[in-house]
Amino acid sequence: MLMTPAIVALQIIALSVTGMALLASGFAWKILRYWNLASGSELQIRLEQRTYLISTLLGFALSAELLSLLLFVHTAESLSSQFVGAMCATGVLNINPFGFPTLLLKITVFFLATLWLALDRVDHQGYDYPLVRAKYGLLLAIAPLTVVEGVLQTRYFLDLEPDVITSCCGSLFSANPHGVAAELAGWSVRPALAIFYAMAGLSLMIGLAFRRWLWLGPLFTVSSILNFGVAIAAIIAFISLYVYENPHHHCPFCLLKAGYDYVGYALYLPLFIATAAGISAGVIAPFRQIASLQTVIPVEIQRLTWLALGGFGIFYGLATGLMLRSSLILF
């Protein structure tokens, strides 16, 4: 097992988040079972007093969880020089069976955590705790995922053996082997490009319409998720080719290297922020019917929708600029 400050920090974050999530889960169960705002019982008063403390602690814990995704990817990239055959984070994540599952689970928890934080923010603006059941119900779904994530991450770091020869990104993100990554790498550029920009236009239209007709919230959530998937597929299929100026190099992780000006961070950060904002805006929209949130929800939706559209705009603008300035000609 390798031991670096980043790995220690990731393990501390995982233990802290898991411990806080499990502790808050017991409180969440009491909320779902006993919460009754109309009651003046001693139990209800204790629940109301503790919900602020639990929400604050959870806010810090889940915020740390968001940062751990970025730190995890950066750590995998920084360790690539210590393993034979690893050219980037792909080889480091592929060195044992726990690398990519940990990454995928971190991405899932990232979006669920941002949604919880959005619900908590709205709930605090209502005078009658209107979303207390919704946000603690979501917490009960997040908590077991943080446990699994912590276990997978620990197994991944424990099984990092420097003497193991791993595979480079060229063997995984290639049009020849089988698998999801290979399928994306083998995606024809013309239809991929058409779908990429069609998704951009569709998301823009849905987002602008959603600002006026809030009942389109679920549609905006779905479009944000689809936009994220199409964007990741596009990065693998053709955007990376233009950055590397190599028609056979499809790796989405080499974009994070200094040799390419860390352009991957500039692409991924607005994409993740936009997707999280789009999901959150669509999910909170149905709660606009609650009396205490009738003035709060529209304001939050405006803020989150503009954040989502702005983030997607930055991503598509940067991706287009990278393709236009490239010397590579694919068609």
Where are the domains positioned within the chain?
1-167, 170-331
- Given a contact cutoff of 8 angstroms between Cβ atoms, the answer to whether 284 and 118 are in contact is yes
pLDDT band at 268 (very low <50, low <70, confident <90, very high): very high
Say whether pLDDT at 327 is over 90: no
CA-to-CA distance for 210 and 204, rounded, in angstroms?
10
Stated pTM of the model: 0.92
Say whether pLDDT at 84 is over 80: no
What average pLDDT score do residues 307-317 get? 96
pLDDT of residue 1: 60
| pLDDT single digits (tens) 168-225 | 676 666 655 555 555 666 677 888 899 999 999 999 999 999 988 999 999 999 999 9
Give DSSP secondary structure letters for 7-65.
Answer: HHHHHHHHHHHHHHHHHHHHHHHHHHHH--TT---HHHHHHHHHHHHHHHHHHHHHHHH
Kindly report the backbone phi and psi dihedral angles of residue 242, in degrees, each rounded to the nearest multiple of 5, phi listed first. Answer: -70, -35
pLDDT band at 282 (very low <50, low <70, confident <90, very high): very high
The chain-wide mean pLDDT, for the chain, equals: 89
Kindly report the backbone phi and psi dihedral angles of residue 83, in degrees, each rounded to the nearest multiple of 5, phi listed first. Answer: -125, 135
